[in-house]
Amino acid sequence: MVGIIIASHGEFAAGIKQSASMILGETELLESVVFMPSEGPDDLYKKIQDAITKLGTEEVLFIVDLWGGSPFNQSNRFFEEAPETRAIVAGLNLPMLLAALSEREDMETAHEVAEAIVPEGKDQIRVRPENLQPKDEGPKAVAQDDTPKGAIPEGTVIGDGKIKFVLARIDTRLLHGQVATSWTKATNPNRIIVVSDTVSKDELRKKLIEQAAPPGVRAHVIPLDKLVEVSKDPRFGNTKALLLFENPQDALYVIEKGVDIKELNVGSMAHSVGKVMVNNVLSMDQNDVDTYKKLRDLGVQFDVRKVAADKRADLFKLISEKQNEGLKL
């Protein structure tokens, strides 16, 4: 039988598993994985790994809450290890899960179950009064993309010749649900650019990030010096880029090299040994604090928010409140 793992931000996966058991009774080969605010990608990866081990079957279907979110991204790593026997469906809802639990009785592979449950997940989204039900008008048009394509001669000036940075974000998780939904909608980029020397050398991580891009937006992974080049290249004049850095040190490097970033959105910094939690998603050591001070001295402003709807917080006020725990301004 096909094993099923449901994964979500917060307790959603655990709750929907309980709902399914109330309707269908207790079922075997079904595991839920929850991703909590205090956890990082490695924590989530380990939870999914444990769930796969507990299932004890080769055929595994991952049903996740959001395409491009952390549950999707970490499930995708396991999918890439065995794409012949694994599948992922995003957009988890109760009708979809019930269909998966029922359909797998007559199916042998995760691919067959995945194909069968998508229509059920969509068709059970209904509205009253009925006139509010959206009419099926076919696939939406892909957003216009005015970025360079093909071999454009060096020196060509497109638009005003200056790349637009609609957002520059510090986020250990890089491209995940909060970026793919909240920030992409708020800033409307046509490119998401992950800027990292480490990730740019990891072909698997690059592939996973490119696959996590939201509809109508392409994702790229480039090294730090490449961003410095691109920022000076007039061929990118119509590019609206959302930049993602893993840490403030990488942002400082490119800014000191001349990349014109006036504000950094400080979104998420995962906890590790020797770091202090300054709020529920930001963990820093003294090196991080010193880096932010250097950025401040260069005139960079800071926008501390997880998602666009949050209120801005004062970065250095957060740090100063933790001085008795080892962080110094």
Q: φ, ψ for residue 45 (rounded to 5)?
A: -55, -45
Instruction: Please give the structure tokens belonging to residue 251.
Output: 């942002």
Identify the residue whose tokens are 């109330």.
22
Which secondary-structure segment (H or E) carries 326?
Answer: none
Structure tokens that stand for 254 in this block: 């490119």
- Give me Rg for the CA atoms of the chain: 22
Tokens of 297: 């001295």
Task: Give the closest residue to 307 by CA, choosing from 248, 266, 269, 247.
Answer: 266
Cα–Cα distance, 62 to 83 (Å, whole number): 12
Using CA atoms, how far apart are residues 219 and 75, in angstroms rounded to an integer?
Answer: 19
Place of tokens 């990118």: 236
Q: Which residues of 240-264 are buried (b: 16+ CB within 10 A; e: fewer)?
A: bbbbbbbbbbbbbbbbeeebebeeb
Q: How far is CA 257 from the centre of its chain?
A: 27
Output the CA–CA distances (angstroms, integers) from residue 315 to 32, 243, 267, 284, 319, in the order listed.
Answer: 35, 19, 11, 11, 6
Contacts of 282 (CB under 8 A, 6+ apart): 266, 268, 269, 304, 318
Backbone angles phi, psi at 300, to 5 degrees: -75, 135
| Catalytic residue status for 9 | yes
CA distance 96 to 123: 10
Structure tokens at 204: 């698997």
Annotated catalytic residue, options 111, 176, 220, 271: 176
* Residue 176: active-site member: yes
The residues assigned a catalytic role are: 9, 176
